[in-house]
Homo-oligomer: A and B are copies of this chain.
Amino acid sequence: MTSSEIASESKAARTRQRILAAAAHEFALHGYGGASLRLIADAADLKVGSLAFHFATKDDLVAAALADGVDSAREALAAAVAAVPDDATPGERLRAAILGHLDALHASDDRASAVVRMVETLPLHLRADHVRHERRFGKVWLDVLARGRDDGVVRDDVDLRVLRDLVVGALNSTSTTSPVARPARGAVVETLLALLSPR
């Protein structure tokens, strides 16, 4: 493989990433139906027609952005938890998960928040493809909560799945477009930890 081959390979990959970033931003701002390829192309410094070379269709791009969004959020969440030293307190682990989730959600690249903004208005065929990714993400949170319960920092008087859904819903709802309205990160973390802790 010559150096020029490497260069051209990475060029396509770089453009693809630029498009995904621009798409995430537009989708986060305007949702699935409100986002336009024109604006996405502009933000990616490309002409609309050129998008087709990387993503054949708007829905292809959406699917890629969704996968990119949840997967990166899941990896960030898992990494945040994994980074907690073994000898840390169980509460630290829980706090790390919450922080990891919030960080992904409020990251400036919008990859995760694009997902939150799009999921509920997706056409069925896209949603079907997306469910698997979402499920893997939910699994990570479930594991975190289960471990927390074993370690005695998560209450055991409620169904864990329902708890997980409410926690994730509450966290996702902080991903508001107007950061002014967003409650302070620290307050959210402490409040959630309090709600979760057993009586």
Contacts and interface: CB of A to CB of B under 8 A. Distances in A.
Interface of A: 29-35, 117, 120-121, 127, 155, 157-159, 161-163, 165-178, 183-184, 187-188, 190-192, 194-197, 199
Contacts of A196: 195
Given A34-B34, A117-B120, A166-B170, A191 B158 contact: yes
Main secondary structure of the interface of A (DSSP, over half): helix
Contacts of A195: 158, 166, 195-196
Nearest to A35: B33
A182 B137 CA distance: 17
Contacts of A183: 161-162, 165-166
A162 B178 contact: no
A52 B140 CA distance: 49
B127 A121 contact: no
B127 A117 contact: no
A116 to B, nearest CB: 8
A166 B158 contact: no
A173 B165 contact: yes
A107 to B, nearest CB: 16
Contact of A33 (B33, B174, B194): B33
Nearest to A189: B162
A35, A120, A175, A197: most-surrounded residue (chain B CB, <10 A): A120
A190 B32 contact: no
A29 to B, nearest CB: 7
Given A170-B169, A173-B169, A158 B194 contact: yes
Contacts of A158: 190-191, 194-195
